[in-house]
Amino acid sequence: MDKEFTGKEEKVSEIDRAKAEEMGRSVKERIKKRSLTRRLLRGVMLGCLLLGLAAQITGTIIHAYALVRMYSLYACDIASYASMMLELDTDNDLKVLADEIMEKYRSLSQEERDSISDPAKYNELFSDIDMGEGSEYQKLVALMQEFRRNSKIDNLYLGMIDPATKAVVYIADHQGEKELHPGAWSSISDKRIDTFLYTEVHDEYDLLYDIQRDQKLGLICTGGVQLKDQSGRIYAFIFVDVTLEIIISDMIGFVVATFIAILLIAVLVTIIMTKYVKKTVTKPINAITDAATEYVIDKQLHRGNNDHFSKLGIKTKDEIENLSEVMGRMEKDLVGYEEHITRIAAERERISAELNMATQIQVGMLPHIFPPFPERKEFEIYASMKPAKEVGGDFYDFFLIDDDHLCLVIADVSGKGVPAALFMMVSKVIIQSYANICGNVSEVLERANEAILSANQVEMFVTVWIGILEISTGILKAANAGHEFPTIKKPDGPFELLKDKHGFVVGGMEGVKYREYEVKLEKGSKLFVYTDGIPEATDKDNNMFGTDRMLEALNKEPGASTEKLIENVTESVADFVKDAVQFDDMTMICFEYKGPEE
């Protein structure tokens, strides 16, 4: 016998051990899949890249703005130097030449201006302007060639803006081998007209420049200087073109260089942060997780190890260390709590077993075999009791005092549970004893009241309805000690409440007298008595079942058997309360008088 038990225990332990090991492997696999280090690696890398890209975009914008500003300033400075040189070398002849060309241009018709597409024909319109050797125009071109060569700029030309025709008219323009004839013109945008012609220049920080794309030079910055006469009238502009294509190559180089730097910094920061967090966060957390897993496994295998967390020795000086300490204290508290729960469970099991036995004893004390008197054909009787708890305070009883007298009792003890059940047993025995020796029901209640009061230290009481039927005549003598009204059904009528006179409860006060009354039961009459758990049954909205619904359930099948009548009332109450909790015991007796045998 002992060997068999030991083998079974070892077999169970092996199964538990296998399950525990499988759980440990499963936890470790989940830790690998749900690694905080990996998530941190991705998060830091992504954060560094996003931050770097934002910095790169910002830096690129600032760098581009600085380059554009620098080239614009350069173009404007070159134009300013060129204007000073031309004004010094040509004196007032430059103004005369510009005015002469613009006067000729403005005198042309639109058709003549449109002949610009035929340069030879268009140049004839300006043939009266002196452009020969030693002329002012030739001096101007020579100076511009020399200045352009020394300053290494893309274009340098002299022109005037005509807002009426939205054109820039070239006074002198030398672009390497290509030389535009004076009076040549090209369209100009409203934006350029406003920028160069209508912008007030007050100091050296007010720059006249515009950026546009040229078919030959690409993206260019055109800087300009206004040439004014003594009255402040603008008679010409010095324009300088500087290509900005170099900015694009600079931007590409800048972007590539900064992106590589950002990527390297992101990788470096990620490695450092990952190592730091792995040491200070993930490693201690994994240690706590492993300790928790070992704790569960040891509990499943009933091992006595109770220092899983306290032995970790985590010293991170932060919330993780606090967590480790709390888990250690919790483990010790759980050991005591488990022992306490074990004791409570054992005690609860013992109490449950005792309550179960008490229920069986209580049921055994009540008549529970039906039909109770199979040899007696003069009556039919059925009863039921449904306690609100394991044991209840209601009770019913019926017994033959002699061959011609049947006693019916139904009672409801104040309170519920075990105290009410104990008081109920005492009350039942006392009432039954006096019913067998007393001559009438009022005396039974009076003597029972005195007996219960003599030892009633808990000040409990019981409501009682008692009736003694003379079987041969159908005369029922009854008394009511604070109990519910009984219901009576005559042979050809429905169930109705019998509103009898109530006396005081039994066990409540000394010297109480009870009134006995008499009811004549005819053949086929029925009697239904009950405790207050029936009419006071409530639904979830605290609505009471009431005596009207009870009578309705009884009168649903008034001719049914006593068992069926009680079943109908029980079902009606259940349909009414539905899932609401039962707060009171529900006890019923149904009796049918069939009369003496003929």
160 touches 102 (CB < 8 A): yes
Cβ atoms of residues 394 and 412 within 8 Å: yes
For position 9, what pLDDT does the model report? 40
Asked if 420 contacts 435 with a C-beta cutoff of 8 angstroms, the reply is: no
Name residue 442's amino acid.
S
Mean pLDDT of the chain: 82
* Rg (the chain; Cα; Å): 58
pLDDT at 5: 39
Which among 351, 367, 349, 450 has a CA at the least distance from the CA of 410? 367
Q: Can you spell out the DSSP letters for 19-49?
A: HHHHHHHHHHHHHHHT-HHHHHHHHHHHHHH
CA distances from 287 to 107, 295, 310 (A): 95, 12, 12
pLDDT tens digits, 249-295: 777 777 788 778 878 887 888 788 777 777 777 777 777 777 777 77
3-state secondary structure of 498: coil
3-state secondary structure of 73: helix
Query: Of residues 458 and 104, which shows the higher confidence score?
Result: 104
Pick 480 or 155 by higher pLDDT.
480
Judge whether 55 and 265 are in contact, CB under 8 Å. Answer: no
pLDDT for 239 beyond 90: no
Buried/exposed 440-476: b ≥16 CB within 10 Å, e otherwise: ebbbbbbbbbbbbbeeeeeebbbbbbbbbbebeebeb
For residue range 385-410, list pLDDT tens digits in order. Answer: 888 776 677 899 999 999 999 999 99
Dist. CA 573–CA 582, nearest whole Å: 10
Assess whether pLDDT exceeds 90 at residue 29: no
- Percent of the chain residues past pLDDT 70, beyond the cut: 86
Do the beta carbons of residue 295 and residue 324 sit within 8 Å?
no
Name the nearest CA neighbour of 463 among 415, 401, 498.
415
- pLDDT category of residue 441 using cuts at 50, 70 and 90: very high
Q: What are phi and psi of 375, to 5 degrees?
A: -80, -15
Lowest mean pLDDT among 57-71, 92-106, 346-360: 346-360
Q: Is the pLDDT of residue 51 over 50?
A: yes
Rounded to an integer, the average pLDDT of 18-23 is 64
Assess contact for 413 and 387: CB atoms under 8 A.
no
Q: Which of 37-41, 236-240, 407-411, 571-575 has the lowest mean pLDDT?
A: 37-41
Write down the pLDDT at residue 476.
96
Ordered strands of the 495-497 beta sheet? 379-386, 586-593, 526-530, 487-489, 495-497
Strand, coil or helix: what is 514? coil
Closest CA to 551 of 499, 588, 496: 496
Please check whether residue 591 is in contact with residue 471, taking contact to mean a CB–CB distance below 8 angstroms: no
Instruction: Give the number of other CB atoms < 10 A from CB of residue 95.
Output: 18
Q: What's the CA gap between 593 and 523, in Å, rounded?
A: 6
Instruction: Name residue 223's amino acid.
Output: G
Q: Which amino acid is at 28?
A: K
Tokens read off for 569: 């009332």
Structure confidence at residue 45 (pLDDT): 75
What one-letter code names the amino acid at 376? R
C-alpha 562/C-alpha 396 separation (Å) is 15
Give the chain's largest Cα–Cα span.
Answer: 167
Q: What is the mean pLDDT of residues 150-173?
A: 86
Mean pLDDT of 357-376: 82
Backbone φ and ψ for 200, nearest 5 degrees, come out as -80, 125
